[in-house]
Amino acid sequence: MTLRITINLYFIYLFLYGIPVYCQPNDIKIANEYFNQGDYEKAIPVYKKVFDDKQLGPLVYFYYSESLIRTGDYETAEKVIKKTMKRNEQNPSFSIDLGVLYKKWGKLSDTKEIFEEVINRIENNLNYARMAGSSFTRHDEIDYAIRCYETYRKNSRDINIFSAELIQSFRRKGDLERLITELVQLVKSDPTLLDYSKNQLQNDLRDEKNFEKLESMLYSGMQSDPEALVYPELLMWSFIQRRNFEDALIQAKALDRRFGNTGNRVMELGFICLENADFNLAIKSFEYVVNLGRDNRNYIQARGYLITARESALKTGTLLDETNIKSILSDYKMLIDELGENFSTAPFIRAMALHCAFYMNKLDTAVIILNKIIQMYGIHRNLYSQCKLDLGDIYILMGEYWEATLLYSQVEKANKGEPVGEDAKFRNARLAFYKGEFDWAQAQLEVLKEATTREIANDALSLNLLIRDNLALDTIEKPLLQYAHAELLYFQNSFDNALVSLDSILHAFPYHSLTDEIYFLKSKIFLKKRQPGPATEELEKILLQYPLDILGDDACFTLGEIFEQFLNDKEKAKHYYYEVLTKYPASSYKVEARKRYRKLRGDGA
């Protein structure tokens, strides 16, 4: 504990016990300046004079005794502390100060005797125990602080008293096992403190070994006390922290059965899996809830998000085939036929429209569906704006850029300062980039660097850098114009034309600064075309020619994904995930790469 904190605690004590800390004489202020400068020899005479005054003495006790100790005058310090002890017989802090002095003096047996006497005097005195524990903690005597709290707990038979203090003490000692035991006991006594316990554990579980320790203790607890809910609750939470969603689902189902098959926990886990792109586990989660039956209150959401999860899996390419594309559309139609068109099903109607537009090229159908939602009574304002943005995207697919700009601008104007408004502004800037209006696009992107949503801010920064860097290096805009047009063609799903445009840039402008961007865009196109082999070739060019540039970690991680999900080559996938961890330690993919590497290695999550 720092000197400043020690002083602050001492003055809190003075305040609590009514000592007048105002109007210090001027000589005390001067002595304190000497103390702060480390000139203890000059400070000591002043402190000695003031200390003999019963009213002002407590003001200088800490400074005086500390000055004596720091100058090695242990005998005088002993007298000062003992005199203060007589003035404050009910406060154990000064006895502990004396024990600490003896420890510095080498009188360890005296130290132990004093500390043990403090512990023995606790009995059922709550204030005495609190002051003693606080003083031991202040002197970094954590074991004795723990004994204070546990002694009072035992004598009072209150198993939760001093929980917060014990948790902090175990944390300072690095005693994870006792910390976990304390938190589990706390939740057993009061289940409403489950979230508090999770927050406390979040501060301490910083590596895999600590999580493994927690899970081992929880499994043991489940065996010894199978009725206690705290064990499976914390176990599920631990699995989620490690992104081990498969084991988390097992616990979620077990808990759900104990709570009458409401499906709540499994639904929550399904959403977490969706957010973390673990679509297969999301599908299993929502399927479980759907199978609970139509009378379950989560049924509608589970039906809709089950389709959403399947569609999200489709976007990764793992399910990308015509049969699944048509099957998902059929699922949407069945859902809407069963539940009707209303504000509760509107999010899934919107998803069906996007599916029609981006996976089936049914653009006119998608426009009709989205306009129907926009005119629907009772839909959420944010969903209304999202549907307008979707319409703008579809108008880009149709080549109607003015209509797209108009819709984006309407949403931005109606939602200034909100994420959906910033999203609209970014889409307008991106469209300007597609059209080669680089100056206007940059002006919008500069503003969006301060966006409230990190994803939008990052996307804006990346696009702005792409424009700035390539315009600054070139006397002509043609390569960037061609690249922007290729990005537009990619957005419009005109993949073959996009490839022709990109190859023409490589041919006309070899070794251009856009080359790594071109390789990366080509890899994305090949993946959309379900051609993982050529996609890997483009990404490997980046690692060979531009390993340290901005797309190096993107290329490395994407290669891992392709070999894992498309080519079923676990060894190569493991290799590239390991490369992310070792060659790109600051990469945003680091956490996910580690998870996947360990899973492929057989470690679990």
Domain spans of the chain, in order of start: 504-601
Within 8 A by CB and 6+ apart from 163, the residues are 182, 186
pLDDT of amino acid 474: 57
| Stretch (H or E) spanning 431 | helix 419-434
The one-letter code for the residue type at 53 is D
The one-letter code for the residue type at 164 is A
The one-letter code for the residue type at 250 is I
Residue 296 near residue 267, CB atoms below 8 Å: no
Q: What are phi and psi of 20, to 5 degrees?
A: -75, 110
- Please name the residue that has the structure tokens 């939008």: 456
Euclidean distance between CA atoms 157 and 124, whole angstroms: 10
Candidates 406, 390, 388; CA nearest to 355 is 390
Within 8 A by CB and 6+ apart from 236, the residues are 248, 251, 252, 255, 265, 269
Q: CATH code for 504-601?
A: 1.25.40.10
3-state SS, 250-295, equals HHHHHHHHHCCCCCHHHHHHHHHHHHCCCHHHHHHHHHHHHCCCCC
Those residues of the chain that have pLDDT short of 50 are 1-3, 5-7, 9-23, 604-605
Q: What are phi and psi of 361, to 5 degrees?
A: 60, 30
Within 38-175, where are the H helices?
A: 40-51, 57-70, 74-87, 93-105, 108-120, 126-138, 142-156, 163-173
Tokens standing for 366? Answer: 């998608």
Question: At CB < 8 A and 24+ separation, what contacts does 554-560 make?
Answer: 554/520, 554/589, 555/519, 555/520, 555/523, 556/580, 556/583, 556/584, 556/589, 557/587, 557/589, 557/592, 557/593, 558/523, 560/593, 560/596
Candidates 79, 82, 50; CA nearest to 63 is 50
Query: DSSP letter at 449?
Result: T
Candidates 268, 359, 261; CA nearest to 310 is 359
The answer to whether the pTM exceeds 0.75 is: no
- 247 by Cβ neighbours in 10 Å (0-12 / 13-18 / 19+) ranks as middle
Query: For the residues of 500-567, what is the DSSP string, one character each?
Result: HHHHHHHHHSTT-TTHHHHHHHHHHHHHHTT-HHHHHHHHHHHHHH-TTSTTHHHHHHHHHHIIIIIS
pLDDT of amino acid 12: 45
- Please name the residue that has the structure tokens 């709540």: 264
Sign of CA dihedral 13, 14, 16, 22: negative
DSSP three-state, residue 1: coil
